[in-house]
């Protein structure tokens, strides 16, 4: 497959991933950190944080815990946002 023909794969629950990414962006701003700092503190690659912010893939529990550690918040804070599950 040529790179020019590569298309982003549609992920299940894309709207939820976008809402999660927006919440993560908000928390990063509130904590006055950069995605790079969050990744370094959480001991993960920076691109993992950006992929979550940009809703490029579903987050694993391990990544959720690493990002929470990087933000210095309880993991439940990452899941504390409004979302209409009936959509």
- Does position 86 have pLDDT exceeding 80, yes or no? no
Closest CA relative to residue 27, chosen from 16, 36, 38, 18: 38
85 pLDDT band (50/70/90 cuts)? confident
Q: How large a percentage of the chain has pLDDT more than 70?
A: 86
DSSP track, 26-64 = HHHHHTT--HHHHHHHHTS-HHHHHHHHTT-SPPPHHHH
When pLDDT is averaged across residues 52-72 and rounded to a whole number, the result is 96
Domains of the chain and CATH, by start:
11-78 (1.10.260.40)
List, for residues 1-26, the tens digit of each pLDDT value.
454 544 454 567 899 999 999 999 99
């Amino acid at each position: 497959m040529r790179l020019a023909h590569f298309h982003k794969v549609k992920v299940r629950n894309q709207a939820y991933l976008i809402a999660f990414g927006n919440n993560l962006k908000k928390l990063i701003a509130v904590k006055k950190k950069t995605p790079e700092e969050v990744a370094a503190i959480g001991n993960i690659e920076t691109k993992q944080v950006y992929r979550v912010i940009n809703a490029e893939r579903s987050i694993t529990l391990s990544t959720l815990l690493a990002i929470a550690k990087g933000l210095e918040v309880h993991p439940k804070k990452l899941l504390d946002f409004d979302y209409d599950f009936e959509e």
